[in-house]
A and B are shown apart, each in its own frame.
Chain A
Amino acid sequence: MKAKVQISTIQFSVLLMGFLLGSTMIIVPGSYAKQDAWIAYIIAWFGGILLFSAYVLLASRHPRKNLVQINRLLLGRGLGSFVSLLYIWYFIHLAALVLRNFGEYTLTINLDQTPLWFVIVCYVITVTYSVRSGLEVTARTAELIVPFIFLFQIVITLALIPHVDFSNFKPVMGDGITPILKASFSVLFFPFGETVVFLMIIPFLNQQKKLNKTYSLSFFLAGLLLLILIVKDIGVLGGYGLDRKMFPPHMSIKHISAINLDPLIGVIFFISGGTKICVCFIAASLGIAQLTESNDHRPFVLPLAIILVGLSIWVYESAPEMMHWAIEIWGYYSIPFQVIIPITLLIISYAKPVIQTRSTK
């Protein structure tokens, strides 16, 4: 919460891109729509743009204020604090889910005899070190490593081009529009709507005027990479393959015969998932610091890290349950946080001055 901490537009957009790519790099939330998942993605992408414009509007109406402060300002101190607490829970929950995704992925793919807690603790140590060092260090680390996601992903995609079979895309909309809409619903809330977390980060951006441009550009780039990813997976695995496989990118990379690039996916996910957890973690700890009116978020980092480890181990029984939750339930669970509360806040922020002026008259 130090006033000095500022991140540049590049750092902000790198954080945002890493966040959006997050666990979507290995889990394909739109797989319900099978070969039409790419249409679902495009629809969700546009929906995501609507959501994010709402967030940006909210942030720009309250410059230099984070979500907790906005809540308190618009909903009053009591209700605002309560809503902020809910949000903090939501951020911690999100971080724990991504953490579990990573743990399950690592265990399923190559470390089948390593205990889950060990992988998670290793991961949390890294994330905690980064978060404890502050937002600035986290952003600069992301700046160093997030570009590798793009590099590796492009290498993988190029290597897979010979294995793409375009007949896998047929029939287009064979099952009608319903599955597509259903799939786009889950894509909208995972990952696009999750950017509500950035309402906690936006106040630290050093050039607030460029917020809109930065946000749109990184949204576009990350969305484009996700689209390429899903087109590649559909092309290689086919619609049913996409739906059946637990980690489609991992399965599609197996088609490269000469060399196994599988660890690259692991590294990509390590980076993107790490960025996502870091952002959620920082948002949660900053939120608590703001709620308790402490000017340092660091005392809350270690307890939160311990909660994170426990929560991520406890939250699911198994990997299939995780997939089920991430793809089908998460969207409904997120609606209040990603849509209802931000829209309500936006309405209140427009309505409040009007009501006040009327009551004074």
Chain B
Amino acid sequence: MPRKISEFFQYLKYSAEEKSLNRSALITGDEKIASSIDKIIDQLKNNLGESSDLIIRSFKIESFDSNSVLVYMDGLVNKHSLEFSVLTPLMQHRKNCTTNNISRKLNIDFLINDVIHSLYCFQSSSMHTSIEHLLNGHAIVFIENTNKSIIIDSKGWETRNITEPATEAVVRGSREGFNENIQTNLTLIRRRLKTPKFKTEGIVLGTYSNTSVVICYIEGIADKRIIEEVKDRVKKIKIDAILESGYIEQFIDDHPLTPLPTVGYTEKPDALVGKLLEGRVGILCDGTPFVLTVPHLFVESIQTAEDYYVNPFYSSTLRIIRLFALLLTTSLPAFYVAVKTFHHEIIPFDLYMSIAAVREGIPMPSFMEALMMISIFELLKEAGLRMPRAIGQAVSIVGAVVLGQATVEAGIATPLMVIVISITAITGFIVPQLDIGILFLRVLLLLLANVVGFFGIALGVVLVFIHMCNLRSFGINYLYPVSPIVPADLKDTYFRFPFWKLLFDDTTISLRKND
């Protein structure tokens, strides 16, 4: 039986590999560019079909009396600049303008050097390359009898403005957020890091999507082994399309089967630059405002970029509050159920009597009650996320009534349970990156607490600790620097020391000597 299963997986693996091999040859052959304009147009149509957004504009370069054609994809180019820097100079170029010592023969180099005004252009003799660039938003000029093309950078398309990110709201700090354009995103980073040490490396991923992915880091701060590892893993990705950085995340994740994130993401340029300066590596992906950062450690879940902009006392307090919130949101329902079921004696007798009085007539055990309320809350949360904005109010009113008033009045849940679940829900929003992990842990602890009380909670917590000690993110222990303890790096974990106590060169990741 195990052999059957392993054979099945082998089959899956191989068939996936074969598919990806077939896909890598989407554009057939490396055709040479034909000499006559008609043949060139045939070649283009062979490859691209009758695409409605393929624009072919024929014209004549009068000075050399040669037929030419300008090809571009509608919507991907900046038409204005194309008109003024390419078409106008080429068409208006007269023989008498040419200097005498240039031969009257058609010369592509001469056109590029002296005629076309565009910022960036080059020549190519391969149809394959030309079409690739065409699809990337470049304009191509084919000229009769040259067997060459001129590729002109004229990218220009509609993008979203730089707006305030929706996921990471701040009171203090930059309000700029990344958008879907990778060039804009790189600009946003570059503007904050005016140093030659900031390095970027581009990779194209996805056989169909050909998405540009950029790996960036600061040389001298980021560990070389981590950079190599990231490049290695990203280059190994074989997939048809990358639509969001989440695709990359799932491919390069050290532990795909854990609910805890071992790859971080951010939508804020200042947060990303902060992480780069700590020695992390960023992975930008075209088409998404979410930039990945690796390695991602547990402490980052309770850190925000804002922590560094405010007074250290303030930010240390906030971090402790976040940690406390994490504790509450995972263990409060379990704690309540354990006390209710096993450990009556640890709460004052009067409180216990009032709980017991309220619970009179409630049909379900407190475990079921807690589980029901947690489920209702998760359903409401999901509904609130998915529904159209316009009817949002209806759901929140119904939710408030159902969770708060009606369950109590109908005698399904106790008011105390409503309070417990509300606290659990509110504190759950304080550490949003661990969302799913928290939900798993909450239910696990609830289950264990219902079976063996506090012993169960201790058991669950220790199991999770062992699990977290097992995790690594790009070679760094997930719980670093708390376990293994690295006293020098503890200055910026659960407390944030003032800046003069933090050594910038020695922050978290780059200090791997002890690892």
Contacts and interface: CB of A to CB of B under 8 A. Distances in A.
Interface of A: 8, 10-11, 106, 110-111, 114, 118-119, 122-123, 126, 129-130, 133, 137-138, 140-141, 143-145, 259-263, 266-267, 270-271, 274
B324 interface: no
Contacts of B485: 8, 10, 143
Contacts of A263: 343, 346, 454
A144 B343 contact: no
Contacts of A118: 452
Contacts of A261: 346
A143 B483 contact: yes
A10 B232 CA distance: 34
B320 interface: no
B345 interface: yes
A111 B485 CA distance: 36
B469 interface: yes
A310 B482 CA distance: 36
Given A129-B466, A145-B462, A10 B346 contact: no
Contacts, number: 85
Contact of B469 (A8, A126, A144): A144
Contacts of B467: 129
Contact of B452 (A119, A137, A260): A119
Nearest 7 A/B pairs, CB to CB: A263-B454, A140-B483, A260-B346, A140-B469, A137-B469, A270-B458, A260-B345
A118 B463 CA distance: 17
A133 to B, nearest CB: 5
A145 B459 CA distance: 12
Interface size for chain B: under 10, 10 to 19, 20 to 34, or 35 or more residues?
20 to 34
A126 B462 CA distance: 8
Interface in B420-470: 452-456, 458-459, 462-463, 465-467, 469-470
Contact of A144 (B348, B458, B479): B479
B466 A137 contact: yes
A304 to B, nearest CB: 17
Contacts of A145: 462, 465
B342 interface: yes
Nearest to A8: B484
Contacts of B453: 110-111
A129 B479 CA distance: 18
B449 to A, nearest CB: 11
A70 B348 CA distance: 57
A340 to B, nearest CB: 36
A263 B343 CA distance: 8
Nearest to A118: B452
A126 B466 contact: yes
B257 to A, nearest CB: 15
B484 A140 contact: yes
A259 B465 contact: no
A266 B462 CA distance: 14
Nearest to B485: A10
Contact of B463 (A110, A129, A143): A129
A270 B452 CA distance: 13
Contacts of A274: 462
Contacts of B331: none
B130 interface: no
A141 B455 contact: no
A112 to B, nearest CB: 10
A246 B224 CA distance: 58
B477 interface: yes
A129 B343 CA distance: 28
B459 A133 contact: no
Given A126-B466, A137-B466, 10 more contacts: A8-B484, A10-B485, A106-B452, A110-B455, A141-B466, A144-B483, A262-B345, A266-B455, A267-B458, A270-B462
A144 B455 contact: no
B95 to A, nearest CB: 76
Interface string B471-515: 000000101001111000000000000000000000000000010
B452 A114 contact: yes
Contacts of B348: 259
Given A111-B452, A114-B452, A141 B462 contact: yes
Contacts of B456: 122
Interface in B194-245: none
A270 B465 CA distance: 14
Contact of B465 (A10, A106, A144): A144
A342 to B, nearest CB: 30
Nearest to B454: A263
A8 to B, nearest CB: 6
B459 A123 contact: yes
B344 to A, nearest CB: 9
A8 B515 CA distance: 10
A235 to B, nearest CB: 23
Contacts of B466: 126, 129-130, 133, 137-138, 141
9 contacts: A111-B455, A129-B467, A133-B466, A144-B479, A145-B465, A259-B346, A263-B343, A266-B458, A270-B459
